[in-house]
Amino acid sequence: MQNNLHVLIMGGDARYLHVIRMLAQENITVYVIGYDHIHFNEINVQHVELESIDHSILNAIILPVAGTDTKGKVEVTYSDKSIYLTEQLLSCTPSNCVIYTGTSNNYLDHATAATNRKLVKLFARDDIAIYNSIPTAEGALKIAIEETDVTIHGSNVSILGFGRVGMTVARLFQSVGAHVSVAVRSSTAIARITEMGFTPVQLRNLKQAIETMDICINTIPDNVVDKTIISAMKPSMFIIDLASKPGGTDFNFAAKQGIKASHALGLPGKVASKSAGLIIANVLLSLLEERA
C-alpha cells in the first residue's frame, strides 16, 4: 500500500476501531473524528476536528455502516459531540476523493451527487454482505437462545427470505437441530431451499405455515410480517427482524398481541466487532489499493 494516502474516518462503532488500526498498519495516514474517548498508539492516527483538518489532502472519507441520517448527522460511539457530513465539506475535498459508506439514503446520495464525488456503498457488495451474514446469523442465534424458554434444537423456525443473510441463518439454525422452513416468492429459490434440505414455503402461504412456528426470523426489507401474519402466530412466538430500518415487522401490532419481537440491527458490530471490523477493513484496503 502506498504510504501517501490520507483517509478521514468520521464516526463509527467498535468495528471501526479495528478498521482504523488495520489501515494504520498499512502506513495510511488516518484522521479520526468522533473518537474523543479512544487513545490510539499508532503515530499515523490523528484526532482532528472538522474545522481544522485540511480537506484538500483527503483521498477518502469513510463513514459508519449506517452512513448518515436524513440531515447528514453521522453516528458516533466514542464522543459526546455531534458531527455532520455536509455538501460544503465534500466540496472542499479533491475531486477524486471517494466516500465510503455501509449503506446510503437520499441525503447522502444527493450530497455526493451534488458535489460530484464518488460514493461506494460497501454493504451493497456481495463479498461484505456474505461475510457479514456469518456474525449476523450467530447474533440471531444468540438472541433466540436468550429470549426463548425452549431449546433451539427441535424448535420450528421460519426464515423469511433466502438471500445472503437468510441462507446463512437457515444453515446455522438447522445445524443446531431446528426444523427450518424458508418462505420466499421465487420458484427458483424454492428449488434451492428444497435441495438444501429446508422446508420451502411460498410467501403467499405464510399465514398458514406460521401457525405452528416457534421462532420467525425476517430478512426481507418489506412489510411481510403484518397484522394478518402476526394474528396467525402462537402467543409464544418470538420474532427476530434482521431487515434494515424500518424492518419488515409491524412491531406495534405485535406488542398489542403480546408477541415478543426484536428488531436486531447491527449484529456484526455487537456480537463480533473484531471479525466484522476486519471484514470491512480488508475490503477497504483492496479498494484503496486499486485507486492508489
What cell was used for 148? Answer: 426463548
Q: What is the pLDDT of residue 1?
A: 53
Query: Are residues 77 and 17 located together in one domain of the fold?
Result: yes
Query: Are residues 92 and 223 located together in one domain of the fold?
Result: no
Query: Are residues 135 and 112 located together in one domain of the fold?
Result: no
- For the chain, the domain total comes to 2
What cell was used for 283? Answer: 475490503
Burial 67-102, CB ≥16 within 10 A → b, else e: bbeeebebbbbbbeeebebebebbeebeeebbbbbb
Q: Is 98 helix (H, G, I), strand (E, B) or coil?
A: strand
The domain that holds 234 is classified in CATH as 3.40.50.720
What count of other Cβ atoms lies within 10 Å of the Cβ of residue 115?
A: 18
Q: What is the pLDDT of residues 226-272, one digit of tens each?
A: 999 999 999 999 999 999 888 999 999 999 999 999 999 989 989 99
In-domain check, residue 247: yes
Average pLDDT along the chain:
95
Q: What is the pLDDT of residue 2?
A: 54
Gap between the Cα atoms of 115 and 137, Å rounded: 38
Residues in the chain with pLDDT < 70? 1-3, 291-292
Write down which residue in 98, 124, 150 finishes a domain. 124
Q: Choose among 255, 159, 251: nearest CA to 198.
A: 159
In-domain check, residue 291: no
Range of the domain at 25: 6-124
Contact 170, 159 (CB under 8 A): yes
Query: CA-based angle 55:56:61, to the nearest 5?
Result: 50
Query: Are residues 143 and 117 located together in one domain of the fold?
Result: no
Segments of 175-278 assigned E as strands: 179-184, 199-202, 215-218, 238-241, 260-263
Contact partners, residue 89, CB within 8 Å, separation at least 6? 50, 55
Gap between the Cα atoms of 74 and 102, Å rounded: 12
Query: Are residues 220 and 143 located together in one domain of the fold?
Result: yes
On whether the pTM is more than 0.75, the answer is yes
The amino acid sitting at 136 is T
Q: In what order do the strands lie in the sheet with 6-10?
A: 45-47, 29-33, 6-10, 60-62, 98-101, 118-121
In-domain check, residue 282: no
